[in-house]
């Protein structure tokens, strides 16, 4: 997991090891990569090569829940319904989680 955390540092300095996952707060870095979607595409491609699952959500807790419980990659987008319907929309931090 440490190697995955070091890999994530290329996208943001805000990386933490939580449970058996790496959580990375990337909202401040998105602009450097051309926006959130290009950053997500880049991270997804790299995570796939490393054999890691990825989820993204407004909070680290939501991203952790998604990466552990989502059955398909499409379910790992915490900005889509139904998860987005019950998440606190006031927190606009974007968080990625890799496992």
Confidence of residue 89 (pLDDT cuts 50, 70, 90): very low
Please state, in angstroms and rounded to a whole number, the distance separating the CA atoms of residues 29 and 47: 17
Does residue 92 surpass a pLDDT of 70? no
Task: Give the total number of structural domains in the chain.
Answer: 1
- CA-based nearest residue to 36, from 89, 84, 98, 96: 96
Domain assignment of residue 58, given as a range: 2-98
**Verdict on whether the full-model pTM lies above 0.85:** no
Q: How far is CA 8 from the centre of its chain?
A: 10
What is the per-residue pLDDT for 90? 39
Please state, in angstroms and rounded to a whole number, the distance separating the CA atoms of residues 66 and 21: 12
pLDDT in tens, 22-65: 999 998 898 999 998 899 899 989 988 988 888 888 888 878 87
């Amino acid at each position: 997991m440490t190697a995955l955390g070091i890999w994530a540092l290329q996208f943001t300095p805000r990386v933490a090891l939580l449970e058996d996952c790496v959580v990375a707060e990337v909202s401040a870095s998105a602009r450097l990569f051309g926006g959130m979607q290009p950053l997500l595409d880049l991270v997804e491609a790299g995570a796939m090569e490393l054999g890691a699952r990825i989820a993204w959500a407004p909070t680290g807790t939501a991203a952790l829940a998604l990466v552990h419980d989502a059955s398909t990659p499409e379910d790992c987008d915490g900005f889509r319904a139904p998860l987005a319907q019950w998440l606190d929309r006031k927190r606009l931090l974007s968080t990625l989680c890799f496992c």
